Structure 1
């Protein structure tokens, strides 16, 4: 395919002129973007390095960098690489990469390549710099600051004199570009050299594509809001966000999996023929990372056998035929008040109630409430950033007092100083309600977050609200935090105030192909097909049904699977049919990855079965949020390749 990278190395004569009077050179080459991704190392610095040595120059080192204009990642890659004694940095890149490199240190930076004028996207969009693709670069004269795009008047030979207090007279929000240029050149000892240069004349027959600059500017704020990366998929919450909760009718039969959580499956403690009551424990946790399970109905155990499972394929399950009476077990009764409970007692209540993370991960909450390190803040995740889903939104609106009670219980249990309820700004009714209800509670606060996916991921939420970075391979407790889901927190309230274990949850049933979408309170173990039928069934033929949202949800090839503790939604959406194409190395996956990874390498290494390469690129830090796959113009199934890589890395010695 055509190479769309629009820069080329200068001629030998131009390079010789550029290097005249300069020595102790460090070379940086940007691995080209917008081209077929065939090799890891490209282009080669060798030609420039060879010429420099022929000219008697000392080359202190060289490095090749993917997406040099991505300042966030480039700073990490270049840290400590430029040796002591380096006097000049020579960059092979388009104008974006040159500007980015020039803004990262005190060394003079020079462009060894020419940016080529063309229509379309120029380099990556996440850079803080702009390039007008004017094909007449002035960066070598102006210290790596572009006068064409940074100066509101695009002046080439100095300032206009209209700046006030260092601010542009045209746009007072901008620093005067020429004052920045003068300061940088003076700091590098190059100001006199610049002032002695001939007057620059711009060739206006070469068009400055303002559209490129406008595009970059339009998305930059969103990309950096709160944390690096992320995407803005269509939310599609309008189907159900205003529908009050409805209780799904009592199921005739429930199939309750003994594995609805991270860790070891529960061990059954009932037998076929036993009579059970709602809330009765029917499976005991099998270890520290495990969770008990309870009957969601009263009735008779008819089977203990392997059944289909939405995420594990199949799982040992307890089948119970309901008697329709919903008789509560004797253990379901209110306990002591929150004030009189000790933290250890709260943890035990939560453990015995079988409460796990209800946002999908299913990690046992009792383990999370015994963090190994001191905690100062509890974050309550009210973002619900997955498209289509509105279950947590409705819980916030209809069970606000229970959610607040549950949050207070968590704060007390982990010894935190503060509890913060974080709600995205697409839920103004929930923000208003929770703000009013917590107004007189000094230890609680409501924070409004600008909507962006995947803001609900623990590490993103912590970075967005507290500006803390969870280390690679680390946990929220490493930075003094515990994060809890809305529905999980409500379940904690039910366990303490009512003695009710986790036997039901709110499920959003929605999508373009659901006749009667809504938010339903559903017993654990209810058949998913029955729930869909209750909503009028599925319309259309080419439909994909997922458990969860459109981004991280699992495709259900068979809807005869039970609703589980983590089943926050069932959606029916159009099936995508775009065929996979070769990677063009556009860099958009790097642009949007909230964990600051390089997903394009995961795809390449998975195809090559280069599992060590995936490990070296920190694949285990991947959230599997699907931002990379969502943005990929080549429609590469990145998440499937990432999962394969993770499985392989886990199996490595």
Structure 2
């Protein structure tokens, strides 16, 4: 589209000729209710509630805490993004709350707010004005505007520093003082009373933007404001104060640009795209206050009007002042309304508030409190009659009727096809609608739903992109790992191959061969290491239980070892008893023929029994050996039976008295008695063999062979004596572990057995003495008649005595060893 040139526009402005926009309406402005009274300062409210976001963009990060004392003008938050501006404390006081609070929104939403309780002192914080701003860099001035928290005060709330820092070439700087909506007079009173400060703000913006032309547009129904601005700008020839036709919505940004320049802002474009920047007169006033005085944006002019208040007027209200506080200051009369109703903004673009505690924010320019019949009721909607009056009144040349049908049916995609977002929500269509349909309400709701859907789609798209990026990253990392493992595997295979080759070469040189390491072995080794690691972890977890089980196993092993030792000792005792019994039987058999043999008993070198053990001059036969083995087996069986019946072992371990049986004890006592008798007999034999040895030593005819046999007999006697002594000690130890009554009984039995054994030994000794005397009286005759037989008998006796002494010595040694073990265990 071809736009009018700059020179053409300037010529038209100088000639007083303006362009026009389509549509528009001429409602009753009702401005006379409030534009006659000067701006007043309301009383200080008890609580000031300031939302952290009062502009288009993101909210700042809160920089105060509950309980903090703040000064007037102190920042309450810090900016985090370019489209974020801070808010400031409107007065000094204490921060009493930082929590969500209902804010100015058609849906009554809540946002994070800071609540301050004023202290009444109104103490300012530190101020930093920039009086010589012309000498400063523009970026520093823009930063000061941002830190002052200034945003568009005409209703949009766009951050001012973003506009002021535009890099596009600007031909026209437009100051909007049209204020076309009915009832609102805040800008009118501001231009009347503070025209000079508006001019100062315009100077600052002109310095930053450096436009070719500056235009101040004011609607022609505000002659006092036009005159005040002309006086303020009379020394600036390039500042043009232009009177604009009263037509709603001539104060809209796009509509006013079209009226002044004839240029139409693109659908998705900005005013800077057509070489124009526009600021509200309230914004100019705030810029001058921030740069020249160092004051942040903490207050604004608010019109309180309507038939339900007695004194409609404009207030210089602190940001955060509750709506009900201003209504009270304007003498609100509740009975003039059928139901409480307050509209923030004008009747065309405003919205009804859900709560009277909602605070005043930077974009609040009017509070309309209509009477009962002042405005059409909200529930007066009737069906559309398709009159097309809405299309005729639309300044954006849209089809409001079609957009309404699709918005109501929630067919938002079709509503967008009819350029829903080109709607400036001026309310002209709803004003002219004969069916009283609140068209703007449907448009706003549809826009909100579409924005939510877009946000969800954007979030989903971003999530999808993140997922795909993560998936791609994981796949890339997987490929890199596989490539790394492949290279490592190739390196290992190469190393193994080189190693195998070198090993093969070495083996071939040595006549050997080597086989490369099998990969399966490595896998098996890895599995084994993993299992070992898992077993170690399980072992650590089961350590207490394993320690207990180990202790139990050690105790069982010790008990088994003691039982085994006891069993061995019992077996050895049984063997000793069997041997003693066998020796006693042999003694009884040989006593009638002691020292006498017949020629038939001469030793034959070729006899089959040559070299067998001899007892008391008789040669041992296989039958005697078999009997001895049978007797030993019987003794072992009885010892085992006694152990099972609860006989205490030699180690001193306690037994269960309830498991001891009387019959078993009787058998064991009988066996012990026999063993002691056999031991006594063995001792008697040993004594006899010693006496015979002395006799042989005194005899001149004794030979070295006979002496050797005699030595063997003494050794056997000593072994038998030691075994008997060990058995006696074991029996005594076993008897000590019984209870008191059993011990007394066993001691008496032992003493009785000892007396019997002593008597037997004494009788045998006496008998042996008699035998020796008889042998001595007849020795000469025997020696004369049978020299060879006597020599052989003496040799056999000496050999038996020597064996007996050896057996006694071995038994004695074992007894000492068993005694030492018992002492160690006890």
Alignment of structure 1 residues 561-600 onto 2, 5 Å: 561-574=358-371, 576-577=376-377, 579-600=380-401
Alignment of structure 1 residues 312-461 onto 2, 5 Å: 313-330=109-126, 332-461=127-256
Deviation at 1:569, TM superposition (A): 1.1
**Which runs of 5 or more structure 1 residues have no equivalent in the other structure?**
1-223
Pairing 1:251–2:52 present? no
Deviation at 1:394, TM superposition (A): 0.8
Conservation of the 8 A alpha-carbon contact between 2:289 and 2:295: yes
Q: Match for residue 51 of structure 1?
A: none
**Structure 1 Cα separation of the partners of residues 400 and 388 of structure 2:** 9
Which of 40, 55, 74 is equivalent to 1:261?
Answer: 55
> Is the alpha carbon distance of 1:649 and 1:313 closer, same or farther for their aligned partners in structure 2, counting shifts above 3 Å?
closer
Which of 34, 45, 55 is equivalent to 1:240?
Answer: 34
Q: Write the deviation string for residues 398-425 of structure 1: whole angstroms up to 9, x where unpaired.
A: 1111101111211221221222110000
**Structure 2 Cα separation of the partners of residues 541 and 597 of structure 1:** 35
**Structure 2 Cα separation of the partners of residues 520 and 513 of structure 1:** 17
**Structure 2 Cα separation of the partners of residues 365 and 554 of structure 1:** 24
**Structure 1 Cα separation of the partners of residues 213 and 133 of structure 2:** 17
Q: Match for residue 271 of structure 1?
A: 65
Which of 259, 266, 269 is equivalent to 1:474?
Answer: 269
Identify the range of structure 1 (364-373 vs 501-510) with the bigger mean alpha-carbon deviation.
364-373
Q: Match for residue 642 of structure 1?
A: 443
**Structure 1 Cα separation of the partners of residues 136 and 427 of structure 2:** 41
**Of Structure 1 and Structure 2, which has the larger fraction of its residues in strand?**
1
Conservation of the 8 A alpha-carbon contact between 2:134 and 2:207: no
**Structure 2 Cα separation of the partners of residues 371 and 596 of structure 1:** 29
Q: Write the deviation string for residues 484-541 of structure 1: whole angstroms up to 9, x where unpaired.
A: 1111110000000100000011111111111111111111111110111111123413
* Equivalenced residues, count: 429
SS in 1 for 2:446: helix
Pairing 1:624–2:425 present? yes
> Is the alpha carbon distance of 1:372 and 1:585 closer, same or farther for their aligned partners in structure 2, counting shifts above 3 Å?
farther
Q: Write the deviation string for residues 305-335 of structure 1: whole angstroms up to 9, x where unpaired.
A: 11110116211111111111111111x2422
Alignment of structure 1 residues 32-431 onto 2, 5 Å: 226-311=20-105, 313-330=109-126, 332-431=127-226
**Structure 1 Cα separation of the partners of residues 422 and 129 of structure 2:** 41
Conservation of the 8 A alpha-carbon contact between 1:602 and 1:638: no
Conservation of the 8 A alpha-carbon contact between 1:379 and 1:482: yes
**Structure 2 Cα separation of the partners of residues 343 and 415 of structure 1:** 11
Pairing 1:557–2:354 present? yes
Q: Write the deviation string for residues 359-396 of structure 1: whole angstroms up to 9, x where unpaired.
A: 12111111111224211111111011111111111111
**Structure 2 Cα separation of the partners of residues 548 and 260 of structure 1:** 15
Conservation of the 8 A alpha-carbon contact between 1:298 and 1:322: yes
**Structure 1 Cα separation of the partners of residues 44 and 290 of structure 2:** 21
Conservation of the 8 A alpha-carbon contact between 1:342 and 1:413: no
Conservation of the 8 A alpha-carbon contact between 2:337 and 2:370: no
**Structure 1 Cα separation of the partners of residues 382 and 314 of structure 2:** 38
Deviation at 1:465, TM superposition (A): 0.7
Larger radius of gyration: 2
**Structure 1 Cα separation of the partners of residues 382 and 173 of structure 2:** 44
**Which runs of 5 or more structure 2 residues have no equivalent in the other structure?**
1-17, 458-826
Q: Match for residue 412 of structure 2?
A: 611
Q: Write the deviation string for residues 69-89 of structure 1: whole angstroms up to 9, x where unpaired.
A: xxxxxxxxxxxxxxxxxxxxx
Conservation of the 8 A alpha-carbon contact between 1:408 and 1:419: no
**Structure 2 Cα separation of the partners of residues 511 and 232 of structure 1:** 19
**Structure 1 Cα separation of the partners of residues 270 and 19 of structure 2:** 22
Conservation of the 8 A alpha-carbon contact between 1:551 and 1:626: yes
SS in 1 for 2:38: coil
**Structure 1 Cα separation of the partners of residues 104 and 257 of structure 2:** 30
SS in 2 for 1:247: coil
Deviation at 1:255, TM superposition (A): 0.7
Conservation of the 8 A alpha-carbon contact between 1:261 and 1:356: yes
**Structure 2 Cα separation of the partners of residues 406 and 341 of structure 1:** 16
**Structure 2 Cα separation of the partners of residues 382 and 342 of structure 1:** 29
Deviation at 1:439, TM superposition (A): 2.4
SS in 2 for 1:544: coil
